[in-house]
């Protein structure tokens, strides 16, 4: 199979864009990626668009075709992807697969999401309206995991709050992040309770935003001077066959193992990581699944400073979902945009010194049976 490279990246600030549409945000991010790559619209042979909520909230269909048409890209295959929080990274997976197979030489991935609208309400992880009324919403499922992790491993409220403090320190260095004001452990713990023990400042905010990536074959990459290579791209979905374990996501462990195997590296080789920190406990559990520390040691890992900029394994130096923001369809794309710029040495004040290898991890929701998706992408120069 052919090698895959990153030709260009683009994004817009994450936050509240009341005046913008999903299409206009996606077009701007796509134009920025084209400018970054030096390629023309006619060079793109396939488009993949990721979004989780446009159909549900606005009744919009085939949004990707509208965006790519506005960008001057018509007559090519266009795919619309919805895969919860992994929508963007699933779109990336499909584009990378098309290039590896030789189907196309250049493909664009755009993720765009509009969440700051009155009717969105709570995002349910249940199967029906009654599930939501009974409290089976996303924060509750993560709260259950937090309590289990505390009980089994001694993880503390303060350690979980440290994840949010770190993320805000990082996002202050990211010009596209939604939040940049520093916070303390005390402020995190004193913020309104969302689902015991998780508080508002330990929960990712609603956000609008868009990100874009252009992938290309090695031949095209050499021609345009691209440096960042895709070493691994993994998409896995859990199974009802897995025994329930609130303190561990089986898909995380399995997906990480496959990504390392595909890339020919191990956790110790990672210079920078972006992971799905929808809630503070999630980042702690992902440290463990990705092999950055042993199972049960995630709380101590963040407390040691190892996950902070300048630490042994910097995690979410973009600010992550907790502080950069989480426009669902754009998140998985933006994680890879962040890693690409880190490996190019273009991350400004949040640059990880000497970064050569990075991993982007995303999780497609949370369900008791662990049947949702997990993606892992390894990039290197």
Length of the chain: 381
Pull the structure tokens for residue 250: 């089986």
- Give the integer Cα–Cα distance in Å for 279 and 138: 10
Give the per-residue pLDDT at 168: 98
Q: How would you class 349 by CB atoms within 10 Å of its CB: exposed for 0-12, middle for 13-18, buried for 19 or more?
A: exposed
Residue 367 has a CB neighbour count (10 Å cut-off) of 16
The contacts of residue 310 (CB under 8 Å, 6+ apart) are none
Which helix (H) or strand (E) segment holds residue 108: the answer is strand 106-113
Peptide bond before residue 197 is cis, with ω within 30 degrees of 0: yes
Which residue is it, tokens 């990211």? 174
Which residue is it, tokens 């936050």? 15
* Global confidence as pTM: 0.94
The domain ranges of the chain are 4-119+207-230, 132-204+233-380
Give the per-residue pLDDT at 180: 93
Q: Same topology for domains 4-119+207-230 and 132-204+233-380, yes or no?
A: yes
Q: C-alpha 266: how far from its chain's center?
A: 20
Fold of 4-119+207-230: Peroxisomal Thiolase; Chain A, domain 1 (3.40.47)
Give the per-residue pLDDT at 244: 72
The CATH number of the structural domain formed by 132-204+233-380 is 3.40.47.10
Q: What is the mean pLDDT of each run of 10 residues along the chain (381 residues)?
A: 95 95 97 98 98 79 95 97 95 98 98 83 47 58 95 98 98 97 98 96 95 98 97 90 82 95 98 97 98 98 98 97 96 98 98 98 70 90 97
- Give the integer Cα–Cα distance in Å for 44 and 21: 23
Pull the structure tokens for residue 268: 């110790």
- Judge contact between 219 and 369, C-beta under 8 A: no
- Give the integer Cα–Cα distance in Å for 184 and 166: 9
Which helix (H) or strand (E) segment holds residue 285: the answer is helix 280-289
Which sign does the torsion angle of CA 314, 317, 319, 325 carry? Answer: negative
Active site residues: 85, 326
Strands 209-217 vs 4-11: parallel, antiparallel or unpaired:
antiparallel
Nearest CA to 322 out of 215, 162, 115 is that of 162
């Amino acid at each position: 199979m052919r090698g895959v490279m990153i030709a260009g990246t683009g994004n817009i600030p994450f936050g509240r864009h009341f005046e913008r549409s999903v299409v206009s945000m996606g077009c701007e991010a796509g134009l920025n990626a084209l400018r970054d790559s030096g390629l023309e619209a006619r060079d793109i042979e396939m488009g993949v668009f990721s979004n989780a909520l446009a159909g549900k909230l606005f009744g919009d269909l085939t949004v990707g075709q509208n965006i790519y048409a506005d960008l001057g890209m018509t007559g090519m295959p266009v795919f619309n992807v919805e895969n919860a929080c992994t929508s963007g990274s699933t779109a990336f997976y499909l584009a990378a697969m098309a290039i590896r197979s030789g189907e196309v030489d250049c493909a664009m991935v755009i993720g765009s999401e509009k969440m700051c609208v009155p009717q969105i309400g709570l995002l349910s992880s249940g199967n029906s309206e009654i599930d939501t009324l009974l409290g089976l919403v996303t924060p509750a499922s993560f709260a259950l995991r937090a309590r289990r992790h505390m009980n089994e491993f001694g993880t503390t409220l303060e350690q979980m709050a440290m994840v949010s403090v770190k993320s805000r320190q990082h996002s202050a260095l990211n010009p596209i992040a939604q939040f940049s004001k520093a916070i303390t452990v005390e402020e995190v713990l004193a913020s309104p309770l969302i689902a015991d023990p998780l508080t508002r400042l330990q929960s990712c905010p609603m956000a609008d935003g868009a990100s874009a990536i252009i992938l290309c074959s090695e031949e095209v990459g050499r021609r345009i001077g691209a440096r960042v290579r895709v070493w691994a791209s993994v998409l896995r979905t859990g199974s009802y066959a897995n025994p329930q374990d609130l303190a561990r996501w089986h898909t995380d462990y399995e997906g990480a193992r496959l990504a390392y195997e595909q890339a020919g590296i191990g956790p110790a080789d990672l210079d920078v990581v972006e992971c799905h920190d929808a809630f503070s406990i999630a980042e702690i559990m992902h440290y463990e699944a990705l092999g950055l520390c042993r199972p049960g040691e995630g709380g101590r890992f963040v407390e040691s400073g190892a996950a902070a900029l300048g630490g042994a394994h910097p995690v979410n130096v973009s600010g992550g979902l907790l502080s950069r923001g989480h426009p669902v369809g754009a998140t998985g794309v933006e994680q890879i945009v962040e890693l690409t710029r880190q490996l190019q040495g273009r991350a400004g004040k949040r640059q990880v010194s000497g970064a050569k290898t990075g991993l982007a991890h995303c999780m497609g929701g949370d369900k008791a049976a662990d049947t949702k998706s997990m993606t892992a992408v390894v990039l290197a120069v």
